Copies of this chain bind each other. A is one copy, B any other.
Amino acid sequence: MHTPLCDDLGIEFPIFAFTHCRDVVAAVSKAGGFGVLGAVGFTPEELEIELNWIDEHIGDRPYGVDIVIPNKYEGMDSDMSGDDLTKMLQSMVPQQHLDFAHKILADHGLPADDLDQNALQLLGWTEATATPQVEVALQHPKVTLIANALGTPPADMIEHIHAAGRKVAALCGSPYQARKHADAGVDIIIAQGGEGGGHCGEVGSIVLWPQVVKEVAPVPVLAAGGIGSGQQIAAALALGAQGAWSGSQWLMVEEAQNTAVQQDAYVKATSRDTVRSRSFTGKPCRMLRNEWTEAWAQEDNPDPLGMPLQYMVSGMAVAATHKYPDQSVDVAFNPVGQVVGQFTKVEKTAAVVERWVQEYLDATGTLERLNDAASV
């Protein structure tokens, strides 16, 4: 599965692993893939600590950092400080929504008042908060890729990253978005089908990937959404991708900091147990269906707010997930793709990479034998 992009990035396998856990980033890159740390949720100071740790443990391998800068929000000035932004956003959240969120949590025995102060931690979802993260990342020479998970990165940020000698990647869910990325100078396009965990579109991977490949050629495309085996990577490469971008699988490795409760929920879930819900982030985001997602989906209840306001409401449920993992399981934020239905156990990161490579060789070997037999 070694594609030209592997040579560009100095890696063995085009297996890109998105994760919030530094241990997983290091383990994937050391196994020959490319680890990418999700920076959302870290302050610049915290991010610096994480990247220093990775630098020390990753050897001479490269890795990436993933940020989230959606398109501009209405009424938001990009020069605003983080604190001013927070105050402005807080003032925009209707009391009705806070009350409803409190009620869901209280119904599950979770003391919402105790959690409120944590409710803003994900404000990395703005240009104001993502820019300092990029500055931190660029101080680390082994960070050779900055990825943006939502929308085309601003032109000056792309220029800035290129000037530092690093590459820029960006996720998309349609050929239209892919074209905007490519025109803006994005180096690697990540085409994520609607199967994917987290923010995703509605078009399935099998349809989306080749459309994006065709739209942006010769810009390399990574296939995302439904990657959880070497067979799926073989399918991606057959459809013209130069590699695979995966997230869900890395929640299910020993090196991940995900709780046993969450990993157990993923093992039990089938592919039909996820839902694209706006109830946590305000944008459609795929996650396990539970009582939180169902409550916000009911007709008579408040509609979720937009991004980033909904997180001002849901942040307390996310905080509860961390603080009370056992009690919060029915209202927790469990972002994951439909590929969750394949998970049967927690594995070592290196074992996953090795398994995927072997499965890839088995799948492409089967295709070769079919062609050989047909030409006899």
Residue numbers of A with Cβ under 8 A of B are 1-3, 174-176, 193-195, 201-208, 210-211, 225-229, 231-232, 234-240, 270-272, 299, 337-339, 341-342, 361, 363-364, 366-368, 370-371, 373-374
Instruction: List residues of chain B with CB within 8 A of the CB of A237.
Output: 366-367, 370
15 contacts across the A-B interface (CB closer than 8 A) = A175-B341, A193-B204, A201-B272, A203-B272, A204-B226, A206-B225, A206-B226, A206-B227, A206-B232, A207-B228, A210-B229, A234-B239, A238-B363, A364-B368, A368-B371
- B204 near A204 with CB under 8 A, answer yes
- A204 near B225 with CB under 8 A, answer yes
Instruction: List residues of chain B with CB within 8 A of the CB of A234.
Output: 235, 238-239, 367
- Given known contacts A368-B364, A374-B1, A207 and B271 CB-to-CB distance under 8 angstroms: yes
- A338 near B2 with CB under 8 A, answer no
- A207 near B339 with CB under 8 A, answer yes
- Given known contacts A364-B238, A367-B238, A207 and B299 CB-to-CB distance under 8 angstroms: no
Chain B residue at minimum C-beta to C-beta distance from A371: B364
Q: How long is the Cα–Cα vector from A235 to B240 in the complex, in angstroms?
A: 10
Question: Chain B nearest CB: distance from A167 CB in Å?
Answer: 21
Q: How long is the Cα–Cα vector from A1 to B375 in the complex, in angstroms?
A: 10
- A174 near B367 with CB under 8 A, answer no
Known pairs A238-B366, A240-B363, A299-B299; list 16 more (Cβ under 8 Å). A2-B373, A174-B271, A202-B272, A203-B338, A203-B341, A204-B226, A207-B337, A207-B339, A210-B231, A211-B342, A231-B238, A235-B239, A238-B364, A361-B371, A364-B370, A368-B371
- B206 near A193 with CB under 8 A, answer yes
Q: How long is the Cα–Cα vector from A232 to B368 in the complex, in angstroms?
A: 16
- A207 near B338 with CB under 8 A, answer yes
Question: Chain B nearest CB: distance from A214 CB in Å?
Answer: 9
- Given known contacts A237-B366, A238-B234, A238-B238, A203 and B371 CB-to-CB distance under 8 angstroms: no
